[in-house]
């Protein structure tokens, strides 16, 4: 039997899944190996149900197992998601950039994040400068499914999560998941899962942790994972009025389209999870909020694959042993991250944070939250594009920096620059470099944090040069062997500059904000 729709039969080998055959994948199921969580799903012919490899049910017999790379591929073959391990909670896949056709990989990432609930296939294809026909063909060649089939699976899995984890009504869950019709949602849910949304809710019961003002979620992450470096990173960069880190939690004001509210991220209630709180005001855009939260936490990272590759270089091997599973902090809002990066080009992190607070106070809009220190939404691209140079200079900016901010805001507001996970990195890079006042360091840093590109590398950064002990030319050459995980190599090198006398501080020293080298 041949590979079909991302399928691995018990007689086949798929070299894109850890180079292992079905026997090894079955061993992962028997041992509930978390490294495989989200990388493959096991479907059981005797029950017609598919599970995550970490499912706690009694392991199925090998002869009844079929392995799929995606949940969508399993559902396309008529399998239903397990109600115990809940495939919708699995961390997203993050294959090395050279292991799959890049166009398909980027587009699938965007679809998994709900892009087709907001865009047409033509609009999504235009983001990559290809036709919808070409994009459809590339995705089918890679995933064995159409873009619409992939999107439908993601909507159904999100709706299942909302019905299980929140007190949302069936109608609210359907629309929040991206369905435009309640009738179509009910039909798709019944056809795919062989039960109705209301019967699912009765079977799992009402979520006792939910309240009238907040939705509570547990986001799964692959171990090893440590939330402390994220909190330390966000703490020193928290924009006054917009975000805060306190008592082991990160909180911030959120605006998505016409909806505004707040989110909070803290320690998970279960192993290998992070707890996320989302205000109910953001219910209609939960799909986007959850996708952005996962990007912030870099939940798609594959620590095992990254460590295996980078540890081949002695320069990085000791860092990997010291900080296993180190992630790259993402950004909830790419535009906000871009403004912070521009502000920090030639000043300290503290100075950039101070000016960011002034920008928010002057050009942001008020937002009511339960927290006294969270009062303001960060300025929109349109607001900063409309600001005058005089107004921006009054906040402590130089003329050149003010002009750069206005140019960047105009580019984002017009859609010329899209800073979001899954965006085409080459297109983002060229658009950024075309703007006055933005060089290669800024572009690569934003590819790391706002776009989530695992192979970005700000080679001109003084911190990286210092940490590596190499000349700029030597660093560029050495970094070629770190592909396709150069972003994580950069994070490790920056982390090595932290205070080694206090290894428990959890300080992630992504301090390149203050080591920008103008080009």
The model's pLDDT over 408-420, given as tens digits with 9 standing for 90+, comes to 999 999 999 999 9
Question: Is residue 435 in a domain?
Answer: yes
Short-list 426, 485, 331, CA closest to 106: 426
Residue 277's pLDDT is what?
96
Average pLDDT score over the chain: 87
Question: Is residue 213 in a domain?
Answer: no
Supply the DSSP symbol for 52: -
Last residue of a domain, one of 57, 84, 111: 84
Residue 511's pLDDT is what?
44
Residue 157 belongs to domain with CATH number: 1.10.10.60
The whole-model pTM stands at 0.83
The reply to whether 70 and 136 lie within a common domain is no
Question: Is residue 442 in a domain?
Answer: yes
The reply to whether 133 and 53 lie within a common domain is no
Residue 22's pLDDT is what?
86
Compute the average pLDDT of residues 296-322: 94
In whole angstroms, what is the distance from residue 503 CA to residue 489 CA?
Answer: 19
Residue 207's pLDDT is what?
58
Question: Is residue 212 in a domain?
Answer: no
> Do 356 and 339 touch, CB atoms closer than 8 A?
yes
Higher pLDDT, 173 or 502: 173
The reply to whether 52 and 131 lie within a common domain is no
Residue 442 belongs to domain with CATH number: 1.10.340.30
Last residue of a domain, one of 58, 84, 110: 84
Residue 93's pLDDT is what?
64
Q: Which of 176-180, 402-406, 474-478 has the highest mean pLDDT?
A: 402-406
Compute the average pLDDT of residues 99-105: 70
The reply to whether 349 and 398 lie within a common domain is yes
Higher pLDDT, 109 or 317: 317
177 Cβ partners below 8 Å, 6+ apart? 117, 155, 156, 158, 159, 162, 185, 286, 287
Residue 123's pLDDT is what?
93
The reply to whether 25 and 149 lie within a common domain is no
Domains in the chain: how many in total? 3
Residue 345's pLDDT is what?
87
Residue 60 belongs to domain with CATH number: 3.40.10.10
The reply to whether 14 and 132 lie within a common domain is no
The reply to whether 337 and 443 lie within a common domain is yes
- Domain extent for 318: 298-514
Which of 333, 424, 455, 461 is the catalytic position? 461
The reply to whether 79 and 34 lie within a common domain is yes
Question: Is residue 275 in a domain?
Answer: no
The reply to whether 445 and 497 lie within a common domain is yes
Residue 208's pLDDT is what?
54
The reply to whether 198 and 72 lie within a common domain is no
Residue 383's pLDDT is what?
97
In whole angstroms, what is the distance from residue 412 CA to residue 408 CA?
Answer: 6
69 pLDDT above the threshold of 90: no
Question: Is residue 276 in a domain?
Answer: no
41 pLDDT above the threshold of 70: yes
Q: Is 367 a catalytic residue?
A: no
Last residue of a domain, one of 188, 204, 220: 204
Q: Which of 3-12, 190-199, 446-455, 498-507 has the highest mean pLDDT?
A: 446-455
End-to-end CA distance of the chain: 54
Compute the average pLDDT of residues 208-220: 81
Question: Is residue 480 in a domain?
Answer: yes
Question: Is residue 94 in a domain?
Answer: no
515 pLDDT above the threshold of 70: no
Which of 14, 37, 51, 367 is the catalytic position? 51
516 pLDDT above the threshold of 70: no
In whole angstroms, what is the distance from residue 165 CA to residue 86 CA?
Answer: 11
Q: Is 461 a catalytic residue?
A: yes
In whole angstroms, what is the distance from residue 307 CA to residue 320 CA?
Answer: 6
The reply to whether 79 and 111 lie within a common domain is no
What are 8's two structure tokens? 């691995």
The reply to whether 15 and 120 lie within a common domain is no
Compute the average pLDDT of residues 266-282: 93
């Amino acid at each position: 039997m041949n590979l079909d729709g991302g399928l691995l039969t018990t007689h086949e080998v798929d070299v894109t899944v850890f180079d292992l055959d079905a026997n090894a994948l079955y061993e992962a199921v028997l041992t509930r190996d978390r490294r495989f969580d989200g990388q493959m799903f096991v479907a059981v012919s005797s029950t017609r149900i598919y599970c995550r490899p970490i499912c706690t049910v009694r392991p199925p017999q090998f002869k009844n197992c079929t392995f799929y790379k995606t949940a969508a591929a399993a559902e396309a073959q008529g399998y239903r998601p397990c109600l115990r391990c809940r495939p919708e909670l699995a961390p997203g896949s993050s294959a090395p950039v050279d292991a799959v056709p890049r166009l398909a990989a980027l587009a699938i990432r965007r679809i998994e994040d709900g892009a087709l609930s907001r865009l047409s296939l033509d609009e999504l294809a235009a983001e990559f400068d290809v036709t919808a026909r070409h994009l459809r063909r590339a995705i089918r060649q890679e995933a064995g499914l159409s873009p619409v089939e992939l999107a439908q699976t993601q909507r159904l899995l999100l709706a299942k999560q909302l019905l299980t984890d929140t007190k949302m009504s069936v109608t609210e869950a359907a629309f929040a998941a991206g369905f435009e019709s309640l009738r179509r949602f009910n039909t798709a849910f019944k056809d795919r899962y062989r039960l109705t949304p209301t019967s699912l809710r009765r079977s799992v019961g009402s979520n006792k942790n939910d309240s009238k003002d907040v939705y509570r979620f547990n986001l799964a992450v692959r171990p090893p994972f440590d939330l402390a470096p994220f909190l330390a990173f966000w703490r020193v960069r928290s924009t006054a009025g917009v975000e805060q880190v306190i008592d082991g939690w990160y909180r911030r004001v959120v605006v998505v389209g016409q909806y505004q509210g707040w989110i909070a991220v803290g320690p998970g209630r279960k192993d290998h999870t992070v707890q996320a709180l989302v205000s109910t005001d953001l219910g209609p855009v939960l799909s986007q909020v959850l996708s952005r939260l996962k990007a912030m936490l870099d939940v798609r990272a594959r620590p095992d694959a990254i460590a295996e590759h980078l540890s081949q270089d002695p320069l990085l091997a000791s860092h990997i042993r010291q900080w296993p599973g180190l992630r790259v902090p993402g950004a909830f809002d790419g535009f906000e991250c871009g403004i912070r990066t521009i502000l920090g080009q030639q000043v300290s992190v503290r100075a950039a944070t101070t000016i960011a607070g002034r920008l928010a106070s002057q050009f942001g809009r008020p937002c009511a939250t339960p927290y006294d220190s969270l009062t303001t939404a960060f300025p929109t691209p349109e607001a900063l594009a409309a600001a005058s140079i005089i107004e921006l200079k009054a906040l402590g900016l130089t003329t050149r920096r003010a002009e750069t901010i206005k140019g960047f805001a105009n580019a984002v507001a017009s859609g010329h620059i899209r800073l979001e996970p899954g965006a085409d990195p080459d297109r983002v890079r060229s658009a950024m470099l075309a703007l006055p006042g933005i060089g290669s360091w800024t572009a690569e840093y934003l590819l790391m944090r706002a776009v989530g590109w695992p192979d970005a590398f700000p080679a001109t950064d003084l911190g990286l040069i210092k940490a590596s002990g190499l000349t700029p030319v030597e660093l560029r050459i050495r970094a070629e062997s770190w592909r396709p995980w150069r972003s994580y190599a950069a994070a490790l090198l920056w982390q090595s500059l932290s205070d080694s006398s206090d290894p428990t501080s959890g300080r992630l020293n992504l301090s390149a904000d203050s080591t920008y080298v103008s080009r």
